[in-house]
């Protein structure tokens, strides 16, 4: 029996349909939206394309079929995501954040919560429904969420406090970078919010997850102005005595918000990796076309020179490496109940960093002309630079997760090769979080 890397007819059809959407619906709005100085207006300019993506089944394709979603496999999601990311990974991030915000409800929610929130997400007649993922917090001393699982009480680690008051949680604090501002800075329709539900316990015990809904009183949003992923909405969110119903607490995530973060960023690992593949693919195809048609003052196109051919050959090979590792990580998720805390992190780290280097090498082939805005490389470089530092930064929670598992004396170093399930538990957390 061989290991098959060939897409099925259904997967080829999915790839073709998403590519057609990306080229014909999304691409025409990207340049103007990316150039819009007002980040909220730029994001709003993508709404018609998003509505088309929703109606085509792309926007909620990752949600379970039982609740009206597409029920696509993680491998299929990765194939589709590459086609979106080649055109604009920021827009793809908006789609991804539906998964980041709503898949925790599928994993950790009650039947009533799944029925309520997931069905609403997949049955919006306007096609504007957005899910959101609200975890990251502002930097400070101490503050921020890179060390979210530090085993110390406040003020270390997550600072958004949710205190139980009868039938509600009263929430106070700030979040920074979440994908939760929505189309109008009134919030997304619904999404997962990571809170410190017990201020006296550290990140491995004191974190939980609530469902944050649009127009929750006491919550205000301010869209952030970014250099990359401008077509994704990220925000500063301020909670001032915001009251969230206790029925919005995800029961499986009570005291396990740390595991939600780790699982979510492992689930999205192959998507971030394939986004990097998409960026490198776009740069490579542009550089190859340039090399075939430009002499740089010589007597024949520069594709005939060794240094150009060697560099582009290396880039092409690395793109294939990145794609197959992404498919492999997605396949691992599909085989292991959407758990891939080790493989997902490894995939995200290595591919996003390798592809960033590929994009720059393509710019070197084109030379100084790659710096001109109309060449398009500047936007690709901006987008590629985002990928290693977002979605759980590589130099932080992603590498720490890998380190935590490898440091376990019971870890089998051949587990991935043998396709074994590598379980991630609280005992794998906190490594590197306390400086001694």
pLDDT tens per residue, range 320-349 = 999 999 999 999 999 999 999 999 999 999
What number does CATH give the domain 9-122?
1.10.540.10
pLDDT category at 436 given cuts 50, 70, 90 is low
Average pLDDT over the chain, rounded to whole? 96
Q: Are 266 and 340 in contact (CB under 8 A)?
A: yes
For helices 269-293 and 341-366, angle between their N-to-C axes, nearest 10 degrees: 20
pLDDT tens for residues 58-89? 999 999 999 999 999 999 999 999 999 999 99
What's the rounded Cα separation, in Å, for the pair 125 and 51? Answer: 10
Does pLDDT of 280 surpass 60?
Answer: yes
Beta bridge partners of 195: 208
The pLDDT value given to residue 337: 96
Structure tokens at 92: 């793809």
Tell me the percentage of the chain whose pLDDT exceeds 70: 99
pLDDT greater than 60 at residue 412: yes
Per-residue pLDDT tens for 372-397?
A: 999 999 999 999 999 999 988 999 89
**End-to-end Cα, the chain, rounded Å:** 51
CB-count burial class (<10 Å; 0-12, 13-18, 19+) for 424: buried
Instruction: Check if CATH label 1.20.140.10 holds for domain 268-428.
Output: yes
Torsions phi, psi for 191 (to 5 deg): -175, 175
What would you measure as the largest C-alpha separation in the chain, in angstroms?
80
CB 117 within 8 A of CB 82: no
Q: Is residue 435 predicted with pLDDT exceeding 80?
A: no
The token pair that represents 392 in the structure block: 């759980």
Q: Under 8 Å CB-to-CB from 369, ≥6 apart: which residues?
A: 290, 375
Q: What is the mean pLDDT of residues 410-425?
A: 96
For the chain, the residue count is 436
Is the predicted pLDDT of residue 1 greater than 70, yes or no?
no
Q: What is the DSSP string of 159-223?
A: --EEEEETTEEEEEEEEES-S--TTTTS--SEEEEEEES-TTS-TTTSEEEEEEETT-TTEEEEE
CA distance 98 to 192: 10
CA–CA dist 226, 36 (Å, integer): 12
φ and ψ of 63, to 5 deg = -75, 155
Q: Is 218 exposed, middle or buried (0-12, 13-18, 19+ CB in 10 A)?
A: middle
Tokens 């059809």, located at residue? 13
pLDDT of 122 strictly over 90: yes
Confidence of residue 2 (pLDDT cuts 50, 70, 90): low
**How much is the average pLDDT of 89-95?**
97
Task: Tell me how many degrees the CA angle 156-399-177 measures, rounded to the nearest 5.
Answer: 55
Q: Which two tokens stand for residue 62?
A: 């990752």
Residue 210 confidence (pLDDT): 98
pLDDT at 180: 86
313 versus 4: which is more confidently predicted?
A: 313
Residue 119 confidence (pLDDT) above 80 = yes
Q: Whole-angstrom Cα distance, residue 151 to residue 3?
A: 43
Q: Confirm whether pTM is higher than 0.75.
A: yes
Where residue 296 falls (left for φ over 0; alpha for ψ -120 to 50; beta otherwise) is: left
Is omega for the bond preceding 5 within 30 degrees of 0, making it cis? Answer: no
The CATH superfamily of 132-255 is Butyryl-CoA Dehydrogenase, subunit A, domain 2 (2.40.110.10)
Q: What is the mean pLDDT of residues 156-174?
A: 96
Residue 341 has a pLDDT of: 97
Tokens of 230: 């401008």
Spatial neighbors of 410 by CB under 8 A, at least 6 apart, are none
Dihedral (CA of 85, 91, 93, 95) sign: negative
Choice between 396 and 160, residue whose per-residue pLDDT is larger: 160
236's enclosing H/E stretch is: strand 235-245
- pLDDT tens by residue, 222-269: 999 999 999 999 999 999 999 999 999 999 999 999 999 999 999 999
What is the residue extent of each domain of the chain?
9-122, 132-255, 268-428
């Amino acid at each position: 029996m061989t290991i098959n890397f060939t897409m099925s007819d259904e997967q080829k059809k999915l790839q073709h349909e998403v590519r057609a959407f990306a080229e014909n619906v999304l691409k025409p709005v990207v340049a103007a939206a990316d150039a819009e100085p007002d980040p909220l207006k730029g994001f709003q300019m993508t709404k018609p394309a998003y509505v088309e993506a929703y109606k085509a089944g792309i926007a909620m394709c990752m949600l379970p079929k039982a609740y009206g979603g597409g029920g696509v496999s993680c491998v299929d999601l990765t194939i589709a995501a590459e086609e979106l990311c080649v055109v604009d990974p920021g827009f793809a991030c908006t789609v991804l954040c539906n998964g980041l915000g709503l898949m925790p409800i599928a994993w950790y929610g009650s039947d009533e919560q799944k029925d309520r929130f997931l069905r609403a997400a997949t049955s919006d007649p306007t096609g504007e429904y957005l899910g959101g993922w609200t975890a990251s917090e502002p930097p400070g001393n101490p503050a921020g969420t890179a060390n979210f699982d530090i085993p110390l009480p406040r003020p270390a680690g997550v600072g958004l406090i949710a205190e139980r008051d009868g039938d509600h949680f009263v929430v106070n604090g700030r979040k920074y970078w979440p994908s939760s501002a929505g189309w109008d800075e009134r919030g997304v329709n619904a999404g997962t919010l990571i809170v410190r539900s017990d201020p006296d316990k550290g990140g491995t015990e004191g974190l939980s997850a609530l469902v944050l809904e649009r127009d929750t009183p006491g919550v205000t949003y301010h869209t952030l102005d970014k250099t990359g992923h401008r077509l994704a909405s990220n925000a500063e969110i301020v909670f001032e005595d915001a009251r969230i119903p206790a029925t919005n607490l995800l029961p499986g995530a009570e005291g396990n918000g740390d595991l939600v973060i780790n699982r979510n960023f492992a689930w999205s690992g192959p998507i971030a990796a394939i986004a990097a593949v998409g960026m490198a693919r776009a740069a490579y195809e542009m550089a190859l076309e340039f090399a075939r048609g430009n002499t740089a003052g010589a007597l024949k196109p520069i594709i005939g020179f060794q240094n150009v051919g060697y560099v582009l050959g290396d880039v092409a090979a690395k793109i294939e490496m990145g794609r197959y590792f992404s498919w492999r990580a997605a396949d691992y998720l599909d085989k292991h109940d959407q758990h891939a805390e080790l493989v997902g992190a490894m995939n995200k780290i290595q591919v996003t960093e390798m592809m960033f280097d590929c994009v720059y090498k393509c710019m070197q082939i084109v030379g100084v002309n790659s710096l001109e805005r109309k060449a398009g490389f500047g936007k690709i470089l901006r987008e590629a630079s985002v990928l290693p530092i977002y979605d759980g930064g590589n130099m932080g929670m992603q590498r720490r997760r890998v380190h935590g598992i490898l440091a376990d004396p019971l870890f089998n170093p051949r587990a991935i090769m043998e396709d074994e399930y590598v379980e991630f538990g609280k005992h794998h957390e906190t490594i590197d979080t306390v400086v001694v």
